[in-house]
Amino acid sequence: MRFGVFVPQGWKMDLVGLGDPIAQYEAMTNVAKVADEGGWESIWVYDHFHTVPKPTPETTFECWTITATLARDTERVRVGQMVGCNGYRNPALYAKIASTVDVASRGRLDAGIGAGWYEHEWKAYGYQWDDTPVRMRKFREAVEIIHAMWTEDQPTYHGQHYTIDKPYNEPKGVQKPHPPLWIGGGGEKVTLKLVAQYGDACNIGGDDETIRHKLEVLRGHCDAVGRDYAEIIKSSGINVHLIQEGDDPERATAEARGGMSFEEYGENFTVGGPDAVAAKIEQLRAVGIDYVIMYVARAAYEPDAVRHIAREVLPAFA
């Protein structure tokens, strides 16, 4: 089992109350540096412009800008996006950006890509919002272009939605054969087929039965194209709210929950001490997940929680 952790970038309203934007940025960077101390293999960011669960005027730092700066502010951890939104960047530009950041990170980039879903921010920023079938066709073409930009000299591609005509992409990055491509989503007809053909890792959510089923579908797609299923990283994400032994869970989570009930919060977060976190990881391992990416509640304010998980939970799965 391997582990990554999200840094607080504002998307989940996790920098509110920290004062000016510089203080918020430094809080995000501090969590990355804590993760860099050891235990964690990677740090991760989201690719969104507006906050959730609803859009607000609160801080949300841009994905690829912070990927680059966090790569320069750390020395050991890999840096990835879960996941880059295809609709926000032309795929050839995405490939160029990722190649540059791979060099800047000295080969520590994990490049995430997905079809995108947050309709509100697409429209607010002036991007064309398409129905799911169109977005998925664009996504398929984008993955094919990204792969070509990383593996071919002056590739050509003439699709229904995207075209490239012998672009130079130099340097292509430093990792060989290319930066690992993490493809997010569990769509069985498009996304998981793309993982089997081009992906180095997948990221799948849902309950145990859903994850188990999606991985079996992926295995079938790998068999169909002659890909070794074992080569692909199978990742999933969990939300964790670490509390101290003896703390009342409802009281300990009150500030993080805001107006959300404890029952609703508990449906989305694993609340408890190291044993509760370890049990959740074991649950994912049992259904075939080998890489867990955690979102740790209040990490911007309590970075020791990230350090504590690295010391008290992760070694048991090494």
- Where b means 16+ CB within 10 Å and e means fewer, 145-182 reads bbbbbbeeeebebeeeebebeebebeebbbbeebbbbb
Q: What per-residue confidence (pLDDT) applies to 172?
A: 97
Query: What per-residue confidence (pLDDT) applies to 40?
Result: 98
pTM score? 0.96
Inter-axis angle of helices 274-286 and 304-312, to 10 degrees? Answer: 60
pLDDT one digit per residue (tens) for the chain, 318 residues: 999 999 999 999 999 989 899 999 999 999 999 999 999 999 999 999 999 999 999 999 999 999 999 999 999 999 999 999 999 999 999 999 999 999 999 999 999 999 999 999 999 999 999 999 999 999 999 999 999 999 999 999 999 999 999 999 999 999 999 999 999 999 999 999 999 999 999 999 999 999 999 999 999 999 999 999 999 999 999 999 999 988 999 999 999 998 899 999 999 999 999 999 999 999 999 999 999 999 999 999 999 999 999 999 999 998
Q: What stretch of H or E contains 241?
A: strand 233-242
Q: Report the domain count for the chain.
A: 1
CB 93 within 8 A of CB 164: no
* Contacts with 183 (C-beta within 8 Å, 6 or more apart), sequence order: 83, 112, 113, 114, 143, 191, 194, 195, 198, 199, 201, 202, 203
Which residues does 257 contact at the CB level (< 8 Å), separation at least 6? 265
- Full DSSP string of 40-88: -SEEEE---SS-SSS--SS----HHHHHHHHHHH-SSSEEEES-EEGGG
At residue 280, the pLDDT reads 97
For the record, the structure tokens of 307 come out as 């350090």
Q: What is the pLDDT of residue 19?
A: 85
What are the C-alpha distances in Å from 225 to residues 142, 161, 234? 19, 25, 18
The pLDDT value given to residue 318 = 86
Beta pairing partners, 295? 239
Domain assignment of residue 106, given as a range? 2-317
CATH number at residue 80: 3.20.20.30
